[in-house]
Amino acid sequence: MNISSSFPVAASSTPPVQSDVCVVGNGVIGKVTALGFAQAGLSVTLLSPAAAPSRDASALVQGWDARVYALNHVAHALLSSVKVWDALDASRIATVDEMVVQGDGGKYSGLLGFDAYGAHVGALAWIVEDRNLNAALDTALKFAPRVRAVQGRATTLRSDSEAAAITLENGGTLRASLVVGADGGQSWVRSQCDIGIDYRSYEQSGVVTNFECDKPHHGVAYQWFTATEGIVALLPLPGQRVSLVWSAPEALALTLMRETPAQIAARLNVFCGDKLGLLRPVLPEDVKAFPLALIRPHAIVAPRVALVGDAAHVVHPLAGHGMNLGFADVAGLLEAVATREAYRDCGDARVLMRYARSRKEDILLMQLATDSLARLFAIDFEPVRMALNAGLNLIDKFPVVKRYLISHALGSK
């Protein structure tokens, strides 16, 4: 089956739009999924709820995006395989050469460090703006002949032994052997499949913005765990700039959103000391916040349906690997479909179970690690804080343990 059309097109009520795969969700993960399947020779329908704002090259020079991703080696490999990595604006990408994690214990504060040299890699991660990544993906999709983009609101999802069908509000129908839910933490696809979730709010918000720093950051990412002010991370951007991701308790987050970026910078200077010099807001000023929660779906597959990205799991951003988990989902799903037996279609139940099994351990480990760290370091009890800081120092002295942690952070086993 081959669908060739320009990108995007409007949905029509008749006849049904037929494809091998229907991807629901027009974010980064959805776009990468669509490109991956298309380049594997399958026809793809990409369903988005509304027209996305245009992202042309000129938009990239209008300041620095407050939303950035720390992409690991799995993400790098996947984006390279779909020919998107080299299409990114390289001048707006920073490498993470070292990571320094510090606890909250005054003079007894724990310290844990990782570096690319010790991990025998060129970089621990790459910091990429959401806008940069989306612009490259949108351009790639324009030249993907097997991808048809459809804009519309989905109302029902049904599946049988032959295919899955999505009905649109305008009366149109999308039919595919496989539906991929890449529609975020509040996934419509997941709800249509009656997949239950375990949900817990962290009672925190992620506050993000960017700053100029007086001193060069040398590719170092800093993270501070505190009991009363949450988790503060400063990620390197090109030049003498850093990106803030502050997982702040709700009351503090509300305060931060009322403050000016200059006032937030003054707070950060207390953490940084003389590491980066004085911080100043990057113009134009842009501060955003988003609620933090743990979402664990009871399954990531259903008849002719697979979930990827935040639809399949939402974790605390303290490790910066929520997006990387999503890229690993996409890579796992592409692998499961590519290696299926010739007599199975891409939505076959056995194929989907292989995908689910391949992702189970990775997702579970990341959920446990991020949730445990977020909860433990939020305990404002001196003996617990001392034990946690001692733990950081102990790990830092054991190269074998550090190599194991780094291997998982990079996306390798």
The pLDDT tens digits of the residues spanning 317-346 come to 987 789 999 999 999 999 999 999 999 999
Mean pLDDT of 85-92: 97
| 151 shares its domain with 191 | yes
- pLDDT for 408 equals 60
- pLDDT for 388 equals 72
| 302 shares its domain with 266 | no
* Model confidence at 4: pLDDT above 60: no
| 147 shares its domain with 252 | no
| Enclosing H/E stretch for 326 | helix 322-338
Helical H segments across 10-160, by residue range: 28-39, 73-81, 116-119, 130-142
| 225 shares its domain with 358 | no
**pTM listed for this prediction:** 0.90
| 225 shares its domain with 284 | yes
Number of domains in the chain: 2
| 147 shares its domain with 275 | no
| 119 shares its domain with 220 | yes
Q: Report the Cα–Cα distance between both ends of the chain, in Å, rounded.
A: 36
CATH number of the domain that 169 lies in? 3.50.50.60
| 178 shares its domain with 325 | yes
The pLDDT tens digits of the residues spanning 222-234 come to 999 988 899 999 9
**78 assigned to some structural domain:** no
**154 assigned to some structural domain:** yes
- pLDDT for 297 equals 98
| Structural domain that includes position 329 | 9-55+133-198+296-373
- pLDDT for 40 equals 96
| 206 shares its domain with 287 | yes
- Which single residue is written with the structure tokens 């992409």? 71
- Please choose, from the candidates 335, 373, 330, 326, the residue with its C-alpha nearest in 3D space to the C-alpha of residue 354: 335
Mean pLDDT of 164-189: 96
The pLDDT tens digits of the residues spanning 8-61 come to 444 444 688 999 999 999 999 999 999 999 999 999 999 998 665 554 444 445
- pLDDT for 389 equals 66
**236 assigned to some structural domain:** yes
| 266 shares its domain with 333 | no
**329 assigned to some structural domain:** yes
| 395 shares its domain with 364 | no
CATH number of the domain that 215 lies in? 3.30.9.10
The pLDDT tens digits of the residues spanning 239-261 come to 999 999 999 999 999 999 999 99
